[in-house]
């Protein structure tokens, strides 16, 4: 099995190498020009996993793997590194961070594994900021959670959820008092940070919570669109009061499901 997997992977690497040589479009690409494709493919895989659709998962894993190989081939073409360097680096990191498997460390459960993983990462980041390694382009709510978790681990953390609520209320008042557009932008960011922190204390993933809320909004608005079509009216012709009525009907329908 390992031999076959190796042969298939090598075939993929050689295929991408050939595309870079012979296909005008592939040859013109840079890491910068295709970087957004990587994010798009990751989200498509995420969606396939959420749907538990194995056929789509296979396809999207392949598309994501192509991005890894393609980015590596671009670097190889410029003489920087190749896919082997990437694999070797990953392999060494996995071995280094699993001393209970490849070394003499003793860990009894998954909680101990995570604690050990964190300690090893801390040693690797020695002399660096505690926020190093958190991508700037990560979705903002997810990034906020990671930043707050890192800060919390060194003691920058409220002790009680009541204090977090007070901070949310404080930031909300500052937002109400904001005058200039720049102040409003600043205070909106602060209230989002405070709400994210509250979510952490409630053990709620704010990114997932917002995602589900947007889905509900779309679903409820579909109901409004359906009602407008039944009446042969456009949405623009429907009053806000009527839309709100159908919105509440959709909410009641959700409760009965």
Instruction: Quick: pLDDT tens for 88-125.
Output: 999 999 999 999 999 989 988 998 998 898 888 888 88
- Reported as a single tens digit per residue, the pLDDT across 137-164 is 889 999 999 999 999 988 999 999 999 9
Interatomic CA distance for residues 14 and 90, integer angstroms: 21
- For position 148, what pLDDT does the model report? 96
If phi over 0 gives left and psi between -120 and 50 gives alpha, with beta otherwise, what is residue 203? left
- For position 1, what pLDDT does the model report? 54
Same topology for domains 2-95 and 140-204, yes or no? yes
Report, at the CATH architecture level, how domain 2-95 is classified: Orthogonal Bundle (1.10)
Average pLDDT over residues 185-189: 97
Domain boundaries, the chain: 2-95, 140-204, 207-255
pLDDT of 238 > 70? The answer is yes
pTM of the model: 0.72
pLDDT of 128 > 90? The answer is no
Domain 140-204 sits in CATH 2.40.30.170: no
pLDDT of 38 > 80? The answer is yes
Listing DSSP states for 121-183 in one string gives HHHHTTTS-TTTT--TTS-HHHHHHHHHHHHHHTT-S-SSHHHHHHHHHHHHHHHHH--SHHH
- Most confidently modeled of 39-43, 67-71, 102-106? 67-71
Length of the chain in terms of residues written: 257
Interatomic CA distance for residues 113 and 157, integer angstroms: 24
């Amino acid at each position: 099995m390992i031999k076959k997997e190796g042969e298939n992977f090598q075939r993929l690497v050689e295929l991408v190498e050939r595309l870079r040589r012979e296909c005008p479009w592939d040859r013109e690409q840079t890491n910068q020009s295709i970087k957004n494709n990587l994010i798009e493919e990751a989200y498509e895989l995420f969606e396939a996993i959420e749907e538990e659709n194995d056929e789509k998962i296979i396809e999207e894993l392949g598309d994501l793997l192509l991005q890894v190989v393609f980015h590596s081939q671009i670097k190889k073409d410029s003489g920087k590194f190749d896919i082997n360097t990437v694999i070797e680096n990953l392999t060494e990191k996995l071995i280094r961070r699993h001393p209970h498997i490849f070394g003499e460390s003793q860990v009894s459960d998954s909680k101990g594994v995570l604690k050990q993983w964190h300690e090893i990462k801390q040693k690797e980041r020695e002399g660096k900021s505690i926020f190093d390694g958190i991508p700037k382009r990560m979705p903002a709510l997810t990034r906020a959670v990671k930043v707050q978790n890192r800060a919390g681990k060194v003691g920058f953390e409220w002790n009680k959820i009541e204090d977090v609520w007070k901070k949310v209320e404080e930031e909300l008042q500052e937002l109400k008092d904001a005058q200039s557009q720049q102040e409003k932008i600043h205070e909106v960011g602060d209230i989002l940070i405070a709400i994210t922190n509250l979510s952490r204390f409630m053990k709620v993933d704010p990114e997932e919570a917002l995602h589900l809320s947007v889905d509900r909004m779309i679903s409820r608005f579909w109901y409004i669109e359906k009602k407008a079509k039944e009446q042969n009216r456009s949405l623009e012709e429907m009053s806000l009061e009527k839309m709100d009525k159908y919105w509440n009907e959709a909410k009641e329908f959700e409760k009965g499901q």
